[in-house]
C-alpha cells in the first residue's frame, strides 16, 4: 500500500492537520515542524493521491486556449481538437474556454493575456505570435504563477513552461533532405510557398530548408519565397505565375497552410512536367494530392496530440507534478503514400 497523509503524521509525530498545512502550504506551521514533516514525506516516499485530492477539492481545472482566428484547414483542425477536449471535460475535470484573437496581432494577444492575468485560470495554452510584447506578457503570467504552454508556434526566450509543437527548423531540414534525395542529384530550382514570413514557424521552416539545401544539395537553387497568405486563390495565382515564368523549377516546398491553390496550380501544369513536391499539414486536400501523386511527401504535426499534450502538461504544472518528457514530445510526422493513417 502506498503511504497516506496518516502515515506522514505518524512518522513525523505531528497531527493530520499539521501535515495538511504543510502539504497545502497553509500558514501556521513553525519552520522546524515544517522541516520535520517534509523530511517524513521524503522518507516514506509519500505521493499525493491526485484523484482523491481532486475529489475532495471538487476541483476542476479552468483552462484557456488562445487560438488565432485564421481560416485555414490546420487551424480548423486545431479548433476541432480543442472542441473534442471540451467534450471530454466532465471526465477530465477540465473547464476549457477558447478565446479567438486576430492572427498575427501582438497587441490583441497581449491584451487577452493581461486580461487573463486578472482572471487567473489554472492554465493557459496559446498559439504564440512571436514578438517581444507577447513574450513579456507571457513572462508576467508565468511569474504570477499561472502555468503557460505554447502550442504549434513557440516563443523563444520566454518563460513558458512547455512548447507543444514540432521543431520547425528540423522540419525544414527534413523537407530539404527529402526533396533533395527524391530529386536524385538533379540540377534546378526549388519554389518555396509560405503563408507569411511574419510567422515564426514559417520563418524557421524556411531557415532550416534553405540551410540544408545550401549545405548538401548545391545543385539546387532555392528561389525567393512566394507568400500566399495561406489563401488558396492567391497561392494558385502566384504559383501558376512562377511555374509559367521559370522553366528551371523542378521541386516545390510548401511550408504553410492553404495548399489547395498550390495543388490546383500543380495539376494545371501536370501535363507539361512532373515536379517533386513536399508540403506541410495533412488535410483532405493534401491527402488526396499525395495519393494521386501530385505531392510526394507530407510533413505533419498532429493537432490532436498537441492539444492533449498541452492539457496534460497544464494539469501537471497546476498540480506541481512532473511530466513524462518522451510522451510530450510532438513528433514531426512524415507521410508518404503508404503510411497514411
Partner DNA sequence: GAATTTCTGATTTACGTACATCAAATTTGG
Partner DNA sequence: CCAAATTTGATGTACGTAAATCAGAAATTC
Question: Residue 106 CB, nearest distance to its own copies (Å)?
Answer: 30
3-state SS assignment for residue 276: strand
**Binding partner of 167, given DNA, its own copies, none, CB within 5-8 angstroms per partner class:** its own copies
Segment 23-82, which members bind its own copies (CB under 8 A)? 47, 49-52, 54-55
State the residues that interact with DNA by CB under 7 A. Answer: 1, 4-6, 13-18, 20-21, 23-24, 27-30, 32-34, 46, 48-49, 52-53, 55-58
**Binding partner of 157, given DNA, its own copies, none, CB within 5-8 angstroms per partner class:** none
Please give the span between the terminal C-alpha atoms of the chain, in angstroms, as a whole number.
42
Inter-CA distances, 137 with 129, 159, 165, 185, 290, Å: 12, 10, 20, 48, 41
Q: Does 334 engage in binding with its own copies (CB under 8 A)?
A: yes
- Pick between residue 14 and residue 178 the one whose CB is nearest to DNA: 14
- Pick between residue 49 and residue 219 the one whose CB is nearest to DNA: 49
Instruction: Name the CA radius of gyration of the chain, rounded.
Output: 25
**Binding partner of 284, given DNA, its own copies, none, CB within 5-8 angstroms per partner class:** none
Size of the site for its own copies (CB under 8 A): 43
Q: Does 221 engage in binding with its own copies (CB under 8 A)?
A: no
Residue with the three cell numbers 517534509: 38
CB atoms within 10 A of CB 17: 12
Question: Residue 9 CB, nearest distance to DNA (Å)?
Answer: 8
Question: Residue 179 CB, nearest distance to its own copies (Å)?
Answer: 11
Scanning 35-43, 125-133, 236-244, 320-328 for contacts with its own copies by CB under 8 A, the matching segment is: 320-328
**Binding partner of 17, given DNA, its own copies, none, CB within 5-8 angstroms per partner class:** DNA
DSSP character string of 304-332: HHHHHHHHHHHHHHHTT----HHHHPPP-
Strand order in the sheet with 94-101: 94-101, 61-68, 123-126, 148-151, 162-164
3-state SS assignment for residue 222: strand
DSSP state of 338: T
- Pick between residue 55 and residue 84 the one whose CB is nearest to DNA: 55
Which of 85, 222, 235 lies closest to 164, judged by CA?
Answer: 85
C-alpha cell at position 168:
520547425
C-alpha cell at position 51:
484523484
Chain centre to alpha carbon of residue 212: 23
Q: Which of 91, 118, 144, 271 binds its own copies (CB under 8 A)?
A: 91
Binding site for its own copies (CB under 8 A): 2, 47, 49-52, 54-55, 90-91, 167, 170-171, 173-174, 176-178, 181-185, 208, 212, 296, 302, 304-305, 308, 324, 326-327, 329, 331-334, 336-339, 341
Amino acid at each position: 500500500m502506498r503511504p497516506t497523509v496518516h502515515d506522514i503524521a505518524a512518522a513525523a509525530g505531528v497531527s493530520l492537520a499539521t501535515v495538511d498545512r504543510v502539504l497545502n502550504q497553509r500558514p501556521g506551521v513553525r519552520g522546524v515542524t515544517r522541516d520535520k514533516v517534509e523530511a517524513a514525506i521524503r522518507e516514506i516516499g509519500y505521493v499525493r493521491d491526485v484523484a482523491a485530492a481532486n475529489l475532495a477539492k471538487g476541483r476542476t481545472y479552468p483552462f484557456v486556449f488562445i487560438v488565432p482566428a485564421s481560416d485555414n484547414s490546420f487551424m480548423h483542425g486545431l479548433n476541432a481538437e480543442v472542441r473534442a477536449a471540451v467534450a471530454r471535460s466532465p471526465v477530465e475535470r477540465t473547464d476549457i474556454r477558447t478565446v479567438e484573437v486576430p492572427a498575427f496581432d501582438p497587441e490583441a494577444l497581449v491584451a487577452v493575456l493581461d486580461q487573463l492575468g486578472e482572471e487567473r485560470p489554472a492554465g493557459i495554452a496559446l498559439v504564440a505570435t512571436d514578438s517581444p510584447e507577447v513574450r513579456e506578457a507571457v513572462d508576467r503570467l508565468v511569474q504570477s504563477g499561472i502555468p503557460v504552454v505554447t502550442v504549434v508556434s513557440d516563443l523563444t526566450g520566454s518563460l513558458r513552461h512547455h512548447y507543444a509543437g514540432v521543431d520547425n527548423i528540423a522540419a525544414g531540414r527534413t523537407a530539404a533532405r527529402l526533396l533533395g534525395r527524391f530529386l536524385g542529384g538533379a540540377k534546378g530550382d526549388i519554389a518555396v510557398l509560405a503563408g507569411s514570413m511574419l510567422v515564426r514557424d514559417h520563418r524557421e521552416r524556411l531557415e532550416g530548408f534553405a540551410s540544408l539545401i545550401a549545405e548538401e544539395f548545391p545543385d539546387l537553387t532555392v528561389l525567393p519565397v512566394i507568400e500566399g497568405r495561406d489563401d488558396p486563390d492567391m497561392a494558385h495565382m502566384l504559383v501558376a505565375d512562377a511555374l509559367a515564368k521559370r522553366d528551371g523549377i523542378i521541386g516545390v516546398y510548401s511550408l504553410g497552410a492553404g495548399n489547395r491553390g498550390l495543388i490546383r496550380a500543380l495539376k494545371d501544369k501536370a501535363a507539361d512536367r512532373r515536379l517533386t513536391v513536399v508540403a506541410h499539414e495533412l488535410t483532405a486536400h493534401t491527402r488526396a494530392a499525395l495519393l494521386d501523386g501530385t505531392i510526394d511527401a507530407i510533413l505533419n504535426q498532429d493537432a490532436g496530440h498537441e492539444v492533449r499534450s498541452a492539457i496534460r502538461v497544464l494539469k501537471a504544472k497546476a498540480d506541481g507534478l512532473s511530466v513524462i518528457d518522451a510522451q510530450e514530445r510532438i513528433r514531426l510526422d512524415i507521410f508518404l503514400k503508404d503510411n497514411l493513417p
